[in-house]
Chains A and B, each alone.
Chain A
Amino acid sequence: MTITPLSIQNVSKFFAGKTAVDDVSFDVNPGEIIGFLGPNGAGKTTTIRMALGLIKPDEGSVKLFGHAPGAHAFGRVAFLPEERGLYKKQTARETIAHMARLNGMKGKDAFPLADKLLDRYGLSEAKRKKNKDMSKGMAQKVQLLAAIAHDPEFYILDEPFSGLDPVNQQVLENMVREIAERGRTIIFSTHVMEHAERLCDRIILISGGRKVFDGSTDEALAQAPRRMVIGSEDSRLREAVSPFADHIEDREDGGLTLFLKREADSHEILEKCVGAKIKLARFEPRNPTLHEAFVALVGHDEAAKMDEEVL
């Protein structure tokens, strides 16, 4: 029987009378890559801390590998917290080996593994460098390697992309893909939709402490309004396409952005324009993004918070 790595049921948490997490439930199934999305203060980190047993929920229950979080799960979980830091007096290889040993690996295996990982991810020169002497980017990579060195079954990564430059974000994306290819289960929180869109099988969206969406990426995208950019010199265009759109926005280039009705079909729009002999300069159906899905699900205010964080 396959054990669910993480099951969170009706979990709530209050701090000083304020609700941080409100009746959140979800299961993480083996082999899934889950994006845990939401703006800062949405309750992502609190949920993750409850999942690991670092803090106890005020209501509801958490099961990690079928039991309440605790020592039984030590060594089976890789956790990268949002707050980054390293023991400054250790070298990179000591840091990785130390965490691997805390997770149950033997010393004679841990040090060669640390060397191998550092070589593999371009940190060979940092092996014997003290953490305090490393650049921020290098230190972040070392911490990530320390968190995952023991290659457990379940990875919980809290904002793993934050603070990384684009090159290292790509390296991290590749690492996540490699881990997933080994059949491991991954949940990572982020407020950068593009990462989730590229990597995840499933999205859990949280806002104001409440879960607002839980489903596959395609299902999430389906929540977003479909758009189309259309352009013509013919003044009859707006009138011709308006039956297909909930909302039309004028573009600076003279074209129109159509926010399509659920039942609208782009072929029908094209047929109607051709039938009305409207010469089209542009006809570009646009794929929805997770960001648009998020706006549709939580509203513009919450989405704006997320945009601010990305900026």
Chain B
Amino acid sequence: MVSLPQLDMRRVYLIARRDFLGYVKTWGFWLSFFMPFVFGFMGFFMSGAIDKIEPTRYETILDETGQYAQPILDLKAERQKKIEWKAIETVLEFTNMSEEGIAGYKTRYESEGIEGLLSDFEGALPSSQIDKIKNSAQGNTRFVDPPNTDLEVLKDYLKGDTTLVIDGESQKLNGVLHIYEHEGKAKADYWSGNVNSKYVQRLAEDYFEDKAEQEYLASGGLSKDGLTQAKKGTTSIQAFDPNKSADDGQAVTKADKIPLIVAAVASGILWLTIFSGAYMLLTSMLEEKLNKLMEMMLATTRFSEVIFGKLLGVAALTITAMLPYIAIGIFAAILYVVQGPPEFMTQFKASITPKLIIFFFVFLILGYVFYGALFIALGSLAESMQDAQTLTTPIMIVLTACILVVPMAFESPDSPLLTFAAWFPLSAPFAAIARLPMDPPWWELALSAFFLFLLSIGVVALAGRIFRYGVLSGSGVKGVTDWIKRVIFRRKVKA
């Protein structure tokens, strides 16, 4: 018969407190704690600077035919416009603007250009973001007129023996696209001292391919513009969901993905918490063993109190360590929802169901106890970090594989594999939460949690025995392998 472990909560608290403060009262902990904020700020303020890391490259086209330089420059300008629009569209999507609104802006962009739109964004967006749009549109390649019509002279520019003067400053020429006729056909070579410089070469190749395509279409009396127009007239398809209220029109919108996102994020947070908590427990247990203090503790404390004290202390530590990530996550989620259309907020609120809240905490506790007890047991057997890594590798693989349920739930929440994962105790905490948008019945979730609860009791009991052996035997992994050889394989083992 299984008897519940006896616990003196004061001693459990004291052990938990010691484990918690042991880490929290170090500089290293606080450095890690503030690191996400530091990196966040650095990323925000340095995003503009990162764009400037790649220097401006000056290129020229030496076109002996006189036919191709301008069309190639036009192609570059056209591409530049596309980049500009993509950047603007990203910003507009970030503000959750409707598709009609974005289409309106596109029309304006086509007539007024980027300058006409940027005035709309002044004040609404940080200047660094506006600069980013301008820079991304501009690109890092600048075409200049050839400083000389002799290729041999231009090679001196490429080698840096001679420089260009642009806006009063001396600049090196990066590349020369040399176009000439050979046996009645256009031919082009790209000269550059920079072997990684491919932009102009590809631009020219694209131009010549495009030219060939147009000539081919023209041979049949067709044009590329005609083809583009024909594509514009195709039928667009609207998705509908019969589960949605008829009052809302049942059309599928971006907001419909919010429950999936919420469940996936909750499942991800659960996994991250359990993974980091279990790993911290392993380190803490190993440290405890190497500190050789356990025997003295065990003269005044029960094994179960040490295990639960550690579980509690490291749980508090994990939550504290994850606070910055949780805070940033919540901030980002709120920003996304608040800036979006009203239905985003409605869907978000509807996603935070009692089922999600209750089972998030149920599976968090059970998953942490289950994996934590396993890691404590293995930590108590290890004699070094190397031992610990060897022992935990199989569980680490299982735990890492479990995170795969999150993208699976996002793409196919009705997958039979996900349903199985929700019942299988090792993956149940993550899969059960991830498939909540499918609205599984309460009994299914409760039964899955109950199975995990039963297994957790077994694991805690087993971990207690391993822990007792691991701490007192001092023989570590060798003791286990010797035991397997002796008891299972009935082989003699050298002392």
Q: Is the CB of B11 within 8 A of A89?
A: no
6-25 of chain B: CB within 8 A of chain A: 6, 8, 11, 14-15, 18, 22-23, 25
| Complex Cα spacing A156 to B299, Å | 10
B25 to chain A: which residues have CB within 8 Å? 89
Q: How many residues of B contact A (CB 8 A)?
A: 30
Contact (Cβ within 8 A) A77 B293: no
Q: Are B299 and A79 in contact (CB under 8 A)?
A: yes
Asked whether any CB of chain B lies closer than 8 Å to the CB of A114, the reply is: no
Measured between beta carbons, the chain B residues less than 8 angstroms from A147 are 296
Q: Is the CB of A52 within 8 A of B299?
A: yes
Question: B-facing mask of A254-298, CB < 8 A → 1, else 0?
Answer: 000000000000000000000000000000000000000000000
Tell whether, in the assembled complex, residue A49 and residue B300 are in contact, meaning their CB atoms are under 8 Å apart: no
Interface residues of A, CB < 8 Å — how many?
30
Contact of A81 with B by CB under 8 A: yes
Give Cα A71 to B493, complex, Å: 36
Q: A55-B472, A71-B8 are in contact. Are A87 and B296 (CB under 8 A)?
A: no
A306 at the interface (CB under 8 A from B): no
User: Which residues of B are found within 8 Å of A84, using beta-carbon distances?
Assistant: 292
Is A303's CB within 8 Å of the partner chain B? Answer: no
Residues of A close to B486: CB separation below 8 A: 16
Q: A16-B495, A87-B22 are in contact. Are A102 and B11 (CB under 8 A)?
A: yes
Given the known inter-chain contacts A16-B486, A71-B302, A101-B14, please indicate yes or no for A86 contacting B8, CB distance below 8 A: no
Are B291 and A85 within 8 A (Cβ)? yes
**Residue A90 contacts which of B18, B290, B296 (CB distance < 8 angstroms)?**
B18
- For residue B301, CB closer than 8 A to chain A, the reply is yes
CA distance in complex: A84, B486 (Å): 31
Please tell me if the beta carbons of A98 and B14 are within 8 angstroms of each other in the complex.
yes
Interface assignment of B295: CB less than 8 Å from any CB of chain A: yes
Residues of A close to B14: CB separation below 8 A: 98, 101-102
User: Does B38 belong to the interface (CB within 8 Å)?
Assistant: no
Q: Give 1 or 0 for each of B17-43: 1 = CB within 8 Å of chain A CB.
A: 010001101100000000000000000
Q: How far is the CA of A85 from the CA of B297 in the complex (A)?
A: 11
Q: Does B298 sit at the interface, judged by CB under 8 A?
A: yes
Output the least CB separation between A129 and chain B (Å).
14
Report Cα–Cα, A84/B291, bound state, in Å: 8
Is A16 within 8 A of B493, CB to CB?
Answer: yes
Residues A74 and B300 in contact, CB atoms below 8 Å apart:
yes
CA of A201 to CA of B180, assembled, Å: 111
User: Which residues 192-247 of A sit at the B interface, judged by CB distance below 8 A?
Assistant: none
Residues of A within 8 A of B15 (CB): 102
Contacts of B298 in A (CB 8 A): 52, 54
**Nearest CB of chain B from residue A88's CB, rounded to whole Å:** 6
Q: How far is the CA of A71 from the CA of B299 in the complex (A)?
A: 9
> Which B residues are in CB contact (< 8 Å) with A74?
299-301
Residue contact A80 to B296, C-beta cutoff 8 Å? yes
Which chain B positions have C-beta within 8 A of A85?
290-293
Which residue of chain A is the closest to B493 with respect to CB atoms?
A16
A85 to B286 Cα, complex, angstroms = 13
- A69 CA to B290 CA, complexed, in Å: 26
Task: For A86, list chain B residues within 8 Å (CB).
Answer: 291, 293
Most A CB contacts (10 A, CB to CB) among B287, B298, B299 go to B299
Scan residues 49-79 of chain A and give those whose CB is less than 8 A from a CB of chain B. Answer: 49, 52, 54-55, 71, 74-75, 77, 79
Among A49, A55, A89, A101, residue most surrounded by chain B Cβ atoms (within 10 Å):
A89
Report the bound CA distance from A18 to B474 in whole Å: 17
A55 proximity list for chain B (CB < 8 A): 472
| A309 CB–B CB distance under 8 Å | no
Determine which of A16, A87, A90, A103 lies in contact with B300 in the assembled complex, contact meaning CB atoms within 8 Å: A103
Query: Distance in Å from the Cβ of B303 to the closest Cβ of chain A?
Result: 9
* A–B pairs, 9, beta carbons within 8 Å: A52-B299, A54-B295, A54-B298, A77-B300, A88-B287, A90-B18, A98-B18, A102-B15, A146-B296
Known: A89-B22, A143-B296. 5 other contacts (CB 8 A): A71-B6, A81-B295, A83-B292, A84-B292, A102-B14
Interface residues in chain A, defined as those with a beta carbon under 8 Å from any beta carbon in chain B: 16, 18, 49, 52, 54-55, 71, 74-75, 77, 79-81, 83-90, 98-99, 101-103, 143, 146-147, 156
